[in-house]
Structure 1
Amino acid sequence: MIQTLPQPISFNEFIAWYPENSESRYELHRGAIVEMPKPRGKHSQVAGFISGEAFLEIRRLSLPYFIPKECVVRSVDGESGYKPDVIVLDETAIASEPHWEKSSVIEHGYSIRLIVKVVSTNWRDDYFAKFGEYEALGIPEYWMVDYAALGGRWFIGNPKQPTLSVCELIDGEYEIRQFRGSDRLISPTFPELQLTAEQVFVAGQ
């Protein structure tokens, strides 16, 4: 049985509470614990495909990056903590993370090269909350992979269509490029990546 805690709670309380070997994932949203179902089916296939392609590029170019299995990203104010679908970390910067070894917590945006969210039914968190938090942390690149076209029309067009948004941090703010269909992705972290939006969307089929 998972212990319940009075809310709001601090980030440190959330990390201490976090249950191991749970069937669900949890995030901290403005001091409130939110249950996030583990990625399944297509969502899991798309995330796994992206992770695999990133790993191959890291190995091909002998980059000092790695992709952890588990990770929690702490917001600047410490009121939120997010578990990305895919995250690429910089091995040279991880030594400066005070809680990495004990809790797999990332507090500094400069430790992260790329963070990926496969958009689900709670798409507002991805397009609004996490977008703003990751920008504030200074994370240089954030992907929103909306393979099922779940996001609002303002974000992915009308009529809605599968869209992969690459957010690049420039002068402290995200600039967004969107990719659909046969568009080749342009990634600041992996500029030689040979991958189209459609290849991501159909992963696992």
Structure 2
Amino acid sequence: MLISAEKPDIKLMTLEEFWDWYPDGYGRFELHNGEIVEMQPTGTHEKVAGFLASKLSVNIERLNLPFFIPRQGLIKAIDSDKSAYIPDVMVLDDNAMENEQMWKKRSTITQGKSVKLAIEVVSTNWQDDYLTKLGEYEKLGIGEYWIVDYLGLGGRRYIGDPKQPTISVCNLVESEYAINLFRGQDVVNSPTFPELNLTAEQIFQVGK
């Protein structure tokens, strides 16, 4: 669920103003076309995201990969200084951080190649994940993006009719996302984590 947060004035914010406004240690907020949006995930939503982060962390450690998962971080829209998003889970390339000038001070990513994997767990605002963020992450050049729709909330054109829990794995191919759908006992195929060995149903069970 998304709730518009109170803003210090009526004008739309730039990202710089958003950074200065952002409350230290309180809440999770995104900037959508200059408007502050407070993210208010349910406990189950957080449980699913936490489960995925833990499974990915195990793979990163076991394979000694140069990746890390920040507790929270923003992804700046490529063609706007008025939009930035917080993925539910984000795997970053540690070797790329030296080229991210906004990371140390602002915890903000500006280059798609720095993000090995972005995951959004779908809530009632499913259009953000299937439309807005998919388009923004694709333009930025993020190589892999998961949409974890454990409740089957997305539009029928995305998850089928009748609706059912679905994981959409978007892989960047020649600057466009190729999308593969996983359900039930399908093993989720991740190019970044080929040894993950996790079925869609295992993820969905966490959300029940």
TM-score by length of 1: 0.95
Q: 1:142 matched to which residue of 2?
A: 145
Q: RMSD of aligned C-alpha atoms?
A: 1.4
Q: Deviations over 1:156-196 (max 9, x none)?
A: 11110000000000000000000000000100110111100
What is the rounded CA distance, in whole Å, between the counterparts of 2:161 and 2:62 in structure 1? Answer: 39
Instruction: Output the amino acid matched with 1:105.
Output: T
Instruction: Output the amino acid matched with 1:170.
Output: V
What is the rounded CA distance, in whole Å, between the counterparts of 1:159 and 1:175 in structure 2? Answer: 23
What is the rounded CA distance, in whole Å, between the counterparts of 2:42 and 2:123 in structure 1? Answer: 11
Structure 1 segments (4+ residues) deviating >4 Å: none
Q: Deviations over 1:78-131 (max 9, x none)?
A: 221001100000000011111111111111101100000000000001100000
1:41 aligns with 2:43: yes
Instruction: Output the amino acid matched with 1:97.
Output: E
Q: 1:70 matched to which residue of 2?
A: 72
Maintained 8 Å contact 2:76/2:83: yes
Cα distance, 1:31 vs structure 2: 1.3
Q: 1:190 matched to which residue of 2?
A: 193
What is the rounded CA distance, in whole Å, between the counterparts of 1:179 and 1:143 in structure 2? Answer: 11
Instruction: Output the amino acid matched with 2:174.
Output: D
1:106 aligns with 2:109: yes
Q: 1:50 matched to which residue of 2?
A: 52
Instruction: Output the amino acid matched with 1:159.
Output: P
1:119 aligns with 2:115: no
Ranges in structure 1 where 5+ consecutive residues have no aligned partner: none
Instruction: Output the amino acid matched with 1:186.
Output: N
What is the rounded CA distance, in whole Å, between the counterparts of 2:125 and 2:7 in structure 1? Answer: 25
1:12 corresponds, among 13, 16, 37, to 16
Maintained 8 Å contact 2:77/2:83: yes
Q: 1:81 matched to which residue of 2?
A: 84
What is the rounded CA distance, in whole Å, between the counterparts of 2:206 and 2:109 in structure 1? Answer: 28
TM-score by length of 2: 0.94
Count residues with an aligned counterpart: 203
Instruction: Output the amino acid matched with 1:64.
Output: P
1:199 aligns with 2:205: no
1:31 aligns with 2:50: no
Instruction: Output the amino acid matched with 1:20.
Output: D
Q: Deviations over 1:46-78 (max 9, x none)?
A: 000000000000011100000000101100022
